[in-house]
Amino acid sequence: MPDVSWRFVSILLANGVLVGSMYALVALGFVLIYKATDAINFAQGEFVMFGGFLAAATADMAGLPWWAGVLAAICGMIALAFCLERVVLRPLLGRPIIAVIMATIGLASVLRGTAVLAFGTGVQSISLPVGSSPFHLGPLVLPPIEIVGAGVSLVFLAAFAWFFLKSRLGVAMRAVADSQQVAMAMGINVRRYFALAWALGGVVSALGGVLWGAMLAVDNQLALVGLKVFPVIILGGLDSILGAVVGGLVVGVAENLSAGFLDPLVGGGTKDFVPFVLMIAVLMVRPEGMFGRRRIERV
């Protein structure tokens, strides 16, 4: 390596950590749903996109303040997640895994088409009151939106960790995830918790949509954030919130370092490539991820 300055590396690292915690937020939506219902949401990216569109449309088109947009996005995504759970996912309970995968892939396609029909093809923006002048922290120069995004993400990740560990609802949800039959025998209304898990997934997606939408821009491309979720959750383990955080940070840092060091060598684009290579390696060595639970299979 010719001139590796520590400043350069530390900027890459700091960026990676910030972006990584925002990945963790999106991954959290996936983990919540998988943990409670065993369903795999391949439409997570589209959920995020839809949340972003809702927020942008409310704030921009209707001329309401930014917090109204966020509120509208959260309410809208809760409603949407409820409906989808009821109409699409519930009939598929107990069916082979490919059925659920394909249903959410179909859902992704429907959401993408609907978003353009409902909100138009143009690029929209979400303006959060965070300013745009870069933030100086010692040798680091960081965009404020990334700091706010990371902060909000970490707050919510902590909140959900508390929710699952301490609150009554969270404990019941973990019971449902562990064994639906035993949970039913204990008097837990399993269906209600499925709906709740999807609603929480909707809330997280709405927040992710607002933050990512504010950082990038709100259009169809926002759904691509969802693709990065897969390396994150595989690295961390599908059913672990801590895993989502650590996986998000690892992916964020890895893609920033590769963009800094590999891109000049091979001509760009490694950002979208390295996380998946990392993921294949993890799948071959430790398929359940860093914090995931190993499932024992019986005939």
Partner 1 sequence: MFGSETGVFKTSYAADMALYPLPVARRTMAFLALFFLFAVPLLFSVYAVTILNLVLIAVVGALGLNILVGYTGQVSVGHAAFMSVGAYTAANLIARLHAPFWIAIPAGGGMAALVGAFFGIPSLRIKGLYLAIATLAAQFIIEWTINHVTWISGGVDASIQVSPPVVFGMALETQRQLYFFLLFFAALAVTATLNLVRSRVGRALVAVRDQDIAAEIIGINTFRYKLAAFAISSFYAGVAGVLYTYYLGIANYEQFGISVSIDYLAMIIIGGLGSVLGSIFGAAFITILPEATRLFLKHFGGMFLSHGAILNLIPNIRLILFGSLIIFFLIVEPEGLNRLWRNIRNYFRIWPFTT
Count the residues in the chain. Answer: 299
- Binder among 88, 93, 188, 190 for partner 1 (CB under 8 A): 88
Stretch that binds partner 1, among 50-58, 64-72, 177-185, 281-289 (CB under 8 A): 281-289
Nearest-angstrom CA–CA distance, 31 and 224: 18
Stretch that binds partner 1, among 12-20, 55-63, 115-123, 163-171 (CB under 8 A): 115-123
Residue 276 makes contact with partner 1 by CB under 8 A: yes
DSSP H or E stretch at residue 35: helix 6-37
Q: Which 3 state secondary structure label does DSSP give 136? A: strand
Q: The tokens of 15 are what? A: 């960026």
Residue 182 makes contact with partner 1 by CB under 8 A: no
Stretch that binds partner 1, among 147-155, 230-238, 240-248, 250-258 (CB under 8 A): 230-238
Question: Chain-centre distance of CA 211, in angstroms?
Answer: 11
- Binder among 110, 142, 242, 290 for partner 1 (CB under 8 A): 110
DSSP H or E stretch at residue 230: helix 225-236
Q: Are 296 and 244 in contact (CB under 8 A)?
A: no
Nearer to partner 1, 53 or 156 (CB): 53
Residue 262 makes contact with partner 1 by CB under 8 A: no
Nearest-angstrom CA–CA distance, 82 and 127: 28
Nearer to partner 1, 170 or 275 (CB): 275
Stretch that binds partner 1, among 61-69, 101-109, 170-178, 252-260 (CB under 8 A): 101-109
Contact positions with partner 1 (CB under 8 A) in 11-40: 40
CA distances from 55 to 113, 118, 204, 258 (A): 18, 13, 13, 32
Residue 108 makes contact with partner 1 by CB under 8 A: yes
Contacting residues for 257 by C-beta, under 8 A, at least 6 apart: 9, 12, 13, 16
Stretch that binds partner 1, among 96-104, 133-141, 157-165, 240-248 (CB under 8 A): 96-104
Number of residues that bind partner 1 (CB under 8 A): 45
∠ CA 176-180-186, rounded to 5° = 75
Residues at the site binding partner 1, with contacts judged by CB under 8 A = 40, 88, 91-92, 95-99, 101-103, 105-114, 116-117, 121, 227, 230-231, 234, 238, 266-267, 269, 272-273, 276-277, 279-280, 283-284, 287, 297-299
